[in-house]
Amino acid sequence: MLKSLAPNSSIAVLGSGISGLTFSFFLNRLRPDVKIHIFEKSKQVGGWIRSEEHETFHFEKGPRTLRGTNTGTLMLLDLLTKIGANDKVLGLHKDSLANKKYLLSPFSDVHGNNAKLLQVPQDFSSFVKFMFDPLSKDLILGLLKEPWQPKLKYSDESVDHFFNRRFATKLSENIVSAIVHGIYAGDVKKLSVKAIFPRLPEMEQESGSIIRYMIAQYRTKKNVKQKVDPFLADYEKLIGTSLSFKNISLFLKNFPMLSFQGGLQKLPISLKNHLSQIENIKFHFDSKIKNIALESGKVALTDHDQVYLVDHVRSTINTNELAKIISPVVPSSTKKKSVFKSKANGPGLVKCLSWLHYTNILMCNIYIPKHVSKSITGFGYLVPRSMSSQASKLLGVIFDSDIETAMTPNFTEANITAINSNSASPKQLQKFSDQFVNNDLPKYTKLTLMLGGHYLKSEADMPGSAESKHAVKAILSNHLNIDLDEFASLPDFKMEITKIPNCIPQYEVGYLDLKRKVQNAASKEFNDQISFGGMAFGDGVGIPDCVQNAFKDSATLSGI
């Protein structure tokens, strides 16, 4: 349980990614008396959000978009409005061709390749094609059987086990695994359904069936008044906003994805520039924290050779790295496997933090200074586990040039004024959003391939550059009929392979139990003077999840 900060307290924030920056922004708004030290081990802000600039283009080395209609997104939009960066926000309209998403399917394509791209349903025609594709084999039968499957006791289980139990088909292997690859780069056989799809087991407990629950919700939807999100209500009360969250939410339903002009890292950079002007906030770049320990009611943090005494530490960094710099208070010889299974008070904080697993990603960015026809336009495609033998450990491919060309600036001052208008009805907001549909063809080709994830057991398993480039060339040739060698001699052609080790935390079966143990250990060993944000023990791995968690915990610490 977090304790509110006393007047004129000080706090150390570890990491200057979106979690650490938004937390610092919210806490400063709520408690301007609190001194905030932000420690960053590198020379720049952004964390895993990293945009690498080249002369005429940029590569995204991490996330490039965020979900449109989401509580955390609304908070972030209001924050950007407050710092004057809202006009840099870009949106992808749902009716743009670049919003089409695909899965790799076993069917041969028109070129005779042994795999093709199957569109995720957006309309009736694509729905019919999807349902009769080999990838969706037995899906209809599984949907018909689901309402009659027995309800089991509410307990943790893997995503794969849950879907196989409820639908009795290969839904997990063929479809759900692809979705999980795109978000967690994880293994459906290991990830916890309660942690990453919490509503599904809740539906089963409430109605005995997911299908029956959804039918009941559909029937009562017209008679149920839409509830105000409690987090947004708290946000409006504590932070205040000039935006009409109701109207913005209706408008954003037409924009499933948002980004930022010049690359997504420009967003945290804009926030950093704002925070740097505040007297009670100080950045410490190139930091090298050696030790964190509780001393006489304060938390002592050693950066290089200087010791900072603060009242609270907010960590948003990799928990395995954090475990290396925390001075253990309660020694424990407990083996790793007992972290999940022990019914006692559990091991110490260091042991718990070191148990969380992270995936390793191999990312390939490609830029071709001309438009290359892929035969399809869209956001990109994901690869199901069942197709792994056809894809060289590929998780998915993003069509960056399609997305960037279709993005439009939606949140200029004039647009916000129009959206905020009290007289703006849902139909008017829909009509207003339609002007932002953009289906122009890109003048260049930019792709990002993500490989590895749970297929790589450790960082040591990551292949070398030559092997990776060979795999990428084969993938693009087989899946998109693109021969990279044909364009390699062009002046601005660029192909970069980047290893991103230990980047996405894995919410495996037992994760929620581990999260409780971490919180209990932090309470006992650090007297609730350390808390955790970011992807590891926050509220999810998405950018909006991190922003919402940052607000929630800053509000608690503020004591307001």
Asked if pLDDT for residue 154 goes beyond 90, the answer is no
Spell out where 224-288 has E strands.
Answer: 257-260, 281-284
DSSP string, 168-201: -SSHIIIIIHHHHHHHT---TTTBBHHHHSTHHH
3-state SS, 80-108, equals: HHHCCCHHHEEEECCCCHHHCEEEEECCC
- Using the 3D structure, point to which of 461, 483, 505 is the last residue of a domain: 505
Work out the average pLDDT over 183-202. Answer: 96
For residues 189 and 330, state if they share a domain: no
Structure tokens at 119: 């569109």
For residues 270 and 325, state if they share a domain: yes
Asked if pLDDT for residue 108 goes beyond 60, the answer is no
pLDDT of residue 219: 79
Provide the H-helix boundaries in 361-448: 400-406, 413-420, 426-434
Residue 291 within any structural domain of the chain = yes
Asked if pLDDT for residue 15 goes beyond 50, the answer is yes
Residue 110 within any structural domain of the chain = no
Measured between alpha carbons, how far is 419 from 86 in angstroms, rounded to an integer?
13
Measured between alpha carbons, how far is 47 from 14 in angstroms, rounded to an integer?
11
Q: What's the pTM?
A: 0.93
- Using the 3D structure, point to which of 463, 483, 505 is the last residue of a domain: 505
Asked if pLDDT for residue 331 goes beyond 70, the answer is no
Instruction: Mention every residue, 6+ apart, whose C-beta is less than 8 A from residue 224.
Output: none
Residues 377-404: tens digit of each pLDDT = 999 999 999 888 777 899 999 999 999 9
Residue 115 within any structural domain of the chain = no
Work out the average pLDDT over 421-440. Answer: 88
Measured between alpha carbons, how far is 425 from 246 in angstroms, rounded to an integer?
11
As for how many domains the chain has, the answer is: 3
Asked if pLDDT for residue 470 goes beyond 90, the answer is yes
For residues 253 and 296, state if they share a domain: no
Q: What is the CATH number of the domain that holds 150?
A: 1.10.3110.10
Q: Among 327-336, 484-493, 543-552, which stretch is predicted with the lowest mean pLDDT?
A: 327-336
Measured between alpha carbons, how far is 222 from 526 in angstroms, rounded to an integer?
49
pLDDT of residue 225: 60
Asked if pLDDT for residue 339 goes beyond 50, the answer is no
Confidence of residue 374 (pLDDT cuts 50, 70, 90): confident
Asked if pLDDT for residue 482 goes beyond 70, the answer is yes
Residue 56 within any structural domain of the chain = no
Q: Which of 132, 123, 136, 144 is nearest to 175 (CA)?
A: 136
Q: Output the CA–CA distances (angstroms, integers) from residue 339 to 260, 330, 354, in the order listed.
A: 40, 14, 10
Work out the average pLDDT over 139-166. Answer: 91
- Which of the pair, 38 or 216, is modelled with greater confidence? 38
Work out the average pLDDT over 8-31. Answer: 98
Residues 504-554: tens digit of each pLDDT = 999 999 999 999 999 999 999 999 999 999 999 999 999 999 999 999 999
Residues across the chain:
560
Asked if pLDDT for residue 94 goes beyond 60, the answer is yes
pLDDT of residue 342: 37
- Using the 3D structure, point to which of 222, 246, 272 is the last residue of a domain: 222
For residues 257 and 280, state if they share a domain: no
Q: What is the mean pLDDT of the chain?
A: 91
What domain range is 545 assigned to?
10-47+264-334+341-357+508-558
For residues 543 and 518, state if they share a domain: yes
Asked if pLDDT for residue 346 goes beyond 70, the answer is no
Q: Is 360 left (phi over 0), alpha (psi -120 to 50) or beta?
A: beta
Structure tokens at 274: 């704002």
For residues 324 and 429, state if they share a domain: no
Confidence of residue 134 (pLDDT cuts 50, 70, 90): confident
Percentage of the chain exceeding pLDDT 90: 78
Residue 119 within any structural domain of the chain = no
For residues 179 and 234, state if they share a domain: no
Confidence of residue 333 (pLDDT cuts 50, 70, 90): very low
Asked if pLDDT for residue 337 goes beyond 60, the answer is no
For residues 296 and 398, state if they share a domain: no
For residues 426 and 488, state if they share a domain: yes
For residues 521 and 440, state if they share a domain: no
Work out the average pLDDT over 319-347. Answer: 62
Residue 518 within any structural domain of the chain = yes
pLDDT of residue 388: 80
For residues 30 and 88, state if they share a domain: no
- Which of the pair, 465 or 546, is modelled with greater confidence? 546
Q: What is the CATH number of the domain that holds 372?
A: 3.90.660.20
Residue 108 within any structural domain of the chain = no
For residues 437 and 312, state if they share a domain: no
Contact 119, 286 (CB under 8 A): no
**How far is CA 521 from its chain centroid?**
26
Residue 176 within any structural domain of the chain = yes
Spell out where 278-324 has E strands.
Answer: 281-284, 289-295, 298-303, 306-310, 312-315
Asked if pLDDT for residue 353 goes beyond 90, the answer is yes
Asked if pLDDT for residue 340 goes beyond 80, the answer is no
Percentage of the chain exceeding pLDDT 70: 94
Confidence of residue 224 (pLDDT cuts 50, 70, 90): low
Q: What is the CATH number of the domain that holds 538?
A: 3.50.50.60
